[in-house]
Structure 1
């Protein structure tokens, strides 16, 4: 029994262990529907965000232990995404910081994926942003977004 526990622990900690014949490697594309946008109390702003996500596809390239994410044809956070897979599921995430006209900000993107069938996966996307210099009274400076949909395997 201790050997089984040790093997199970090693398999869980090794990201490619137990992956079996199915693989998430390759290029995946799909549009995500915004389920929640906490970016503004302005309904028109929420509708613009939903329209942008509905119009522009996401593309994710998974190659061994690396992932690249593209939105609207442009790579997002080049070189920052980390990839963790276990069997038919994976998490792809990145955090970054910067400055704009509102001051300093920090944000995190997260994709949680699972294989539905060999060429389709279910995707849950979350994004949270904190504009550090806007203070606690400005709602628009701190927000989250949740979107869901399916990605389909595309030719490389």
Structure 2
């Protein structure tokens, strides 16, 4: 009986610990303001400044789930994913930084283009996401005086939660 009791006790405590760990993982991203996980949509307007090219993102969608994120933009009435699988997210509580850096796949490094996208976000409240977008492009193989050789864009605004079931 002693060994049966020990085995049952180990199984019960082990199952309880596993459930507690799984539950803690799901709650890890919830804050007093709300949580970043969900689907967010809205428009980001251009920010003006020296050296900036105009940028306006209409209908941008961020889908955040734990350490996974996807970015979508409208295209002929539907949403298409931008740079599928390329975005990563660093997050802590109400804030996150979503980034992607890509290089020209057909050229040796530093000879083609390099493009960086960055979304810096924080929760205003449970259904509003303050969002800043920065895009920087360097076409290394173009002369520096070409207008599209090197440029940066900044846009800002608020996205609204449209779903939280991710």
Q: Flag whether TM exceeds 0.5 (same fold).
A: yes
Distance (Å, rounded) in 2 between the aligned partners of 1:118 and 1:82: 22
TM-score with structure 2 setting the length: 0.68
**Alignment correspondent of 1:133:** 141
Other structure's SS at 1:80 match: coil
TM-score with structure 1 setting the length: 0.73
Q: Which protein is richer in helix relative to its size?
A: 1
Matches within 5 A, 1:105-120: 105-120=113-128
Is 1:78 the counterpart of 2:84? The answer is yes
Segments of structure 2 that go 5 or more residues without pairing to the other structure are 1-26
Matches within 5 A, 1:6-155: 20-21=31-32, 22-36=34-48, 38-39=52-53, 46=54, 50=56, 53=57, 56-72=58-74, 73-98=79-104, 104-155=112-163
Distance (Å, rounded) in 2 between the aligned partners of 1:84 and 1:17: 14
Point out the structure with max Rg over C-alpha. 2
Residue correspondences, number: 127
Computed over aligned residues only, the root mean square deviation of the Cα atoms, in angstroms, reads 2.3
Segments of structure 1 that go 5 or more residues without pairing to the other structure are 1-15, 40-45
| CA deviation after TM superposition for structure 1 residue 146, in Å | 0.4
